[in-house]
Amino acid sequence: MKNIKPLIYELKEGLIIALQALRANKVRSILTMLGIVIGITSVVTMSTAIRGIDNSFQSGISALGSDVLYIDKWAWFSNEDWWKIRNRKNMTLDEFSQFKQLVQTPIAVAPVINSRQNVKFGDKVVENVFLNGSNADYVKTTNFTFDLGRFYTESESNGSRYVCVLGSEIAKSLFPMGNGLDKTVKIGGVNYRVVGILSEQGSFILGAFNPDNQVFMPMGTIFKHFANEQRNTITFNVRSKDNASIEDTKIEAEGVMRKIRGLKSGEENNFSINQQEGLLDNYNQTVGVIQVAGFFITGLSLFVGAIGIMNIMFVSVKERTREIGVRKALGAKRRTILSQFLLEASIICLLGGLIGLLFAVLLSSLIDRFITTSIQFEAVTLAIMISLITGVVAGLAPAYTAAKLDPVEALRYE
Amino acid sequence: MNIISIEHIRKMYKIGDVEVHALRDVSLTINRNEYVAIMGPSGSGKSTLMNMLGCLDTPTGGKYDFKGKNVSLMSDNELAEIRNREIGFVFQTFNLLPRSDALHNVELPLIYAGVGSAERKERATRTLIDVGLADRIHHKPNELSGGQRQRVAVARALVTNPAIILADEPTGNLDSKTGDEIMYLFSQIHAAGNTIILVTHEEFVAQHAERIIRLKDGYISSDEMVQNRTIPKLKTEENQQTA
Ligand SMILES: Nc1ncnc2c1ncn2[C@@H]1O[C@H](COP(=O)(O)OP(=O)(O)OP(=O)(O)O)[C@@H](O)[C@H]1O
Ligand SMILES: [Mg+2]
């Protein structure tokens, strides 16, 4: 008790003095604070932006389904030589039939043939749209929800009817009024009737892989007009019971595929089993690099701000040398002087940090218009912590200089 | 009982290769409730001696006992505590905090002593009234005259009830009338039982003290009692009001 009381009074005195000093040197304090404001604004805004990209990716990638395997000639990510993969056999419908017969664990499998064509309605065109031709089972390998209509039926797909389901972005482009159902669109010059329009599924992060930018139709119609089995490879979409069993499904699928392809043990797979996870790993790596670079750059601005604080604190100590001498003569200890100047530096930084936070909130709501994001509580506490730590670190050297001033020298200082 | 006892104190400053001997060999004792004036030509070491006595500075050699305790062996923190509790400084240039009002300036040593806010304000106010500044409590230094500023400084020195008041040329920056007022204040403080050591260049100021120590070139050249001490009279209306 005896020791804590003076400490509290000293700190309170330090606070009063620090605020007085700030008020007495308004312009200087504001200019110094600016460095911290910019630093904190950029650090927090950066973290919000990254979070936004993260959100979009996470929700976008979930459109691919974390429980879905995509067995394909092509690998999404591979260390193998491109020509080696290119020389693989195409995957065929015949192989798909065998595959469907043999596998036990998946709850749904569907063959998919892709093409890219322009999609037209009246004078509106969306160019180079990613087309998915499949059968009625396809929808079971997805989590599709519909704004309007439905997926095509088994009889429609067996009969290769000219019906299609539009992704939400495609529908928006062709039918800004939202009245696309039952309209006839021209896909690659062929008429299709719209039987369903998807609600928003993924996010822009996936680009052409985003179902929102795709069109779905019975695969027979694609083979008739835009692809042929000799030249084009198909993909098997395989959905496992749940996330937990995806590894089992993968092992089974691999075994079945090797059997169909007649591979001997020791021979390499001549197909790839792709899944969302691979995409996720790849994304995390990329974003990790962006994050490190981003925080390095924004951290640098904070560092520059800290140097500004340190500089101004040295000036402040110099200017108040005599005051320090007086305080020491009146009984201020080293720690009293030290804490007084640390407090002053921390207050500048804290104020700067709070203002920076304010700007960051404004900027983040701006970013929020483009990608869904919000300032997180952690970012706020982090910003406050960082600005406080910056204050203490930047103030340490000047405060220490002040604390160890010789009282006689200080009193003599002109 | 003596408060201060120094023996063979030396203080040497080194500026490059040149050694400056501010104090060469000074010994003296000062008793409770003594009123001592230190005189001497410029550069004779008066301020150096005061800083030493006030525990602001440490000697290069010799022994200094303050209230029987060896100061030379004390840590920085212990010295700060002695300065805070036992010593009241009055400077020639007042040395008030420019941005704080009179009350806060006087409170300052009490803050460092860990006195609570209410008691602090009470004691500081009372001391300011004692030095005749009842109506200037919330004025900042730049709103006060030189004499009033020095009164604030005296109040600040007195407020902790120190064992000894050290004043280095307290009237040096004041005109003679204001100087007289401050000297009157010191006499009152002395009469109340305090110990005072003051440095001055002026003989008539020194004549207020009971004892005059003269320094020359870092030595004590004389140390004698004052025969016909000046007992200041109540001269001004202001003093009459406060007396
Ligand atoms: N920090 C220092 N560095 C070097 N020399 C110093 C220092 N402080 C004092 N001195 C020297 O010590 C000597 C005594 O100085 P001091 O200030 O004690 O004199 P003084 O008697 O108070 O003079 P004055 O009447 O002019 O105030 C002087 O020669 C001075 O130059
Ligand atoms: Mg002097």
- Secondary structure string (H, E, C) spanning B139-190: CCHHHCCHHHHHHHHHHHHHCCCCCEEEEECCCCCCCHHHHHHHHHHHHHHH
Closest Cβ opposite residue A408 in set B56, B100, B116: B56
Check whether A5 has a pLDDT greater than 90: no
For the residues A205-229, what does the mean pLDDT come to? 87
What is the CA(B136)–ligand 2 centre distance, in A? 30
- Asked whether the beta carbons of residue B56 and residue A10 sit closer than 8 angstroms, the reply is no
Predicted pLDDT at B119: 95
Tens digits of per-residue pLDDT, A307-353?
Answer: 999 999 999 999 999 999 999 999 999 999 999 999 999 999 999 99
Interatomic CA distance for residues B131 and B181, integer angstroms:
10
B188 by Cβ neighbours in 10 Å (0-12 / 13-18 / 19+) ranks as middle
List the structure tokens of A68: 């879905």
Check whether A285 has a pLDDT greater than 90: no
Closest Cβ opposite residue A331 in set B91, B96, B112: B112
Predicted pLDDT at A203: 67
Closest Cβ opposite residue B95 in set A13, A326, A334: A326
Predicted pLDDT at B125: 97
- B216 occurs within a structural domain: yes
Q: B117 to chain A: which residues are within 8 Å by CB?
A: 9
What is the CA(B43)–ligand 1 centre distance, in A? 5
Residue B88 C-alpha, separation from nearest chain A C-alpha, in angstroms = 8
What is the CA(B174)–ligand 2 centre distance, in A? 16
Q: B57 to chain A: which residues are within 8 Å by CB?
A: 406-408
Residues with Cβ within 8 Å of A199's Cβ and at least 6 positions away in sequence, in order, are A145, A146, A147, A168
Predicted pLDDT at B161: 93
For the residues B13-30, what does the mean pLDDT come to? 94
Mutation target among A330, A335, A411, A414 for the B interface, most CBs of B within 10 A: A330
AA letter at B215: L
Predicted pLDDT at A7: 81
- B176 occurs within a structural domain: yes
For the residues B113-134, what does the mean pLDDT come to? 94
Check whether A1 has a pLDDT greater than 70: no
Q: Which residue has the tokens 């939202």?
A: A178
Q: What is the CATH number of the domain that holds B206?
A: 3.40.50.300
Check whether A132 has a pLDDT greater than 90: yes
Instruction: Report which DSSP code applies to B136.
Output: G
Check whether A70 has a pLDDT greater than 80: yes
User: Going by CA atoms, what residue is nearest to atom 16 of ligand 1?
Assistant: B45
Check residues A10 and B141 and name the one with the higher pLDDT: B141
Q: Which atom of ligand 1 is nearest to the CA of B11?
A: 12
Predicted pLDDT at A53: 81
Cβ of residue A161 closer than 8 Å to a chain B Cβ: no
Spell out a b/e string for A115-140, using b for 16 or more CB atoms within 10 Å of the CB, else e: bebebbbeeeebeebbbbbbbbbbbb
DSSP strand pairing (A124-134 vs A214-218)? parallel
B2 by Cβ neighbours in 10 Å (0-12 / 13-18 / 19+) ranks as middle
* Range in A127-141, B77-91, B99-113, B225-239 the model is least confident about: B225-239
Check whether B5 has a pLDDT greater than 90: yes
- Asked whether the beta carbons of residue A10 and residue B112 sit closer than 8 angstroms, the reply is yes
Predicted pLDDT at A55: 79
Tens digits of per-residue pLDDT, B149-173?
Answer: 999 999 999 999 999 999 999 999 9
Q: A20 to chain B: which residues are within 8 Å by CB?
A: 99-100
Q: B89 to chain A: which residues are within 8 Å by CB?
A: 329-330
Predicted pLDDT at A356: 92
The separation between the first and the last C-alpha atoms of chain A, rounded to the nearest angstrom, is 39
> What ipTM does this complex have?
0.93
Predicted pLDDT at A17: 85
pLDDT bin (cut points 50, 70, 90) of residue A204 is low
- B73 occurs within a structural domain: no
Length, in residues, of chain B: 243
Backbone angles phi, psi at A258, to 5 degrees: -65, -35
Ligand 1 binding pocket mutation candidate from A321, A411, A412 (most atoms within 8 A of CB): A412
Backbone angles phi, psi at B18, to 5 degrees: -90, 130
For the residues A30-34, what does the mean pLDDT come to? 91
- Collapsing DSSP states into helix, strand and coil, what is residue B43? coil
pLDDT bin (cut points 50, 70, 90) of residue A403 is very high
Tens digits of per-residue pLDDT, A237-250?
Answer: 999 988 888 899 99
**Sign of torsion over alpha carbons A12, A16, A18, A19:** positive
What is the CA(A19)–ligand 1 centre distance, in A? 36
Residues with Cβ within 8 Å of B231's Cβ and at least 6 positions away in sequence, in order, are B187
- B23 occurs within a structural domain: no
* Range in A46-60, A86-100, A381-395, B36-50 the model is least confident about: A46-60
Q: A14 to chain B: which residues are within 8 Å by CB?
A: none
Q: Which residue has the tokens 């003269």?
A: B214
Candidates A371, A383, A311, A398; CA nearest to A38 is A383
Interatomic CA distance for residues A125 and A121, integer angstroms:
6
Candidates A392, A414, A409, A411; CA nearest to A327 is A411
Ligand 1 binding pocket mutation candidate from B21, B48, B201, B221 (most atoms within 8 A of CB): B48
Question: Residues lining ligand 2 (ion), CB within 5 A?
Answer: B 47
Instruction: Tell me the domain boundaries of chain A.
Output: 4-59+281-412, 89-270
pLDDT, averaged across chain A = 89
Check whether B238 has a pLDDT greater than 80: no
**Which residues does a 6 A CB cutoff place in the pocket of ligand 1?**
B 13, 15, 20, 22, 40, 42-48
Q: A21 to chain B: which residues are within 8 Å by CB?
A: 99
pLDDT bin (cut points 50, 70, 90) of residue B242 is very low
Length, in residues, of chain A: 414
Residue B7 C-alpha, separation from nearest chain A C-alpha, in angstroms = 22
pLDDT bin (cut points 50, 70, 90) of residue B236 is low
- B4 occurs within a structural domain: no
Cβ of residue B112 closer than 8 Å to a chain A Cβ: yes
Query: Would you say B109 and B97 are in contact if contact means Cβ atoms under 8 Å apart?
Result: no
- For residue B91, what are the domain limits? 33-55+83-242
Query: Would you say A77 and A282 are in contact if contact means Cβ atoms under 8 Å apart?
Result: yes
Number of domains in chain B: 1
Q: B60 to chain A: which residues are within 8 Å by CB?
A: none
**Residue in A closest to B81 by C-alpha:** A331
Check whether B114 has a pLDDT greater than 60: yes
Closest Cβ opposite residue A333 in set B56, B77, B96: B77
Cβ of residue A24 closer than 8 Å to a chain B Cβ: yes
- pLDDT above 90 covers a percentage of chain A that reads 56
For the residues B28-53, what does the mean pLDDT come to? 95
Predicted pLDDT at A2: 57
User: Torsion angle of alpha carbons A81, A87, A93, A94, nearest 10°?
Assistant: -120
Predicted pLDDT at B243: 40
Interatomic CA distance for residues A163 and A157, integer angstroms:
9
Query: Would you say B27 and B8 are in contact if contact means Cβ atoms under 8 Å apart?
Result: yes
Which positions 22-61 of B are in contact with A (Cβ < 8 Å)? 51, 54, 56-57
pLDDT bin (cut points 50, 70, 90) of residue A205 is low
Query: Helices (DSSP H) in chain B: which residue ranges?
Result: 46-53, 76-86, 102-113, 117-130, 146-158, 176-191, 203-206, 237-242
Predicted pLDDT at A295: 82
Predicted pLDDT at B239: 47
For the residues A396-408, what does the mean pLDDT come to? 95
- pLDDT above 70 covers a percentage of chain A that reads 97
Check whether A377 has a pLDDT greater than 90: no
Residue B107 C-alpha, separation from nearest chain A C-alpha, in angstroms = 10
- B99 occurs within a structural domain: yes
Closest Cβ opposite residue B97 in set A323, A329, A333: A323
What is the CA(B46)–ligand 2 centre distance, in A? 6
CA A102 to chain centre: 39
For the residues A167-179, what does the mean pLDDT come to? 92
pLDDT, averaged across chain B = 92
Check whether B237 has a pLDDT greater than 60: no
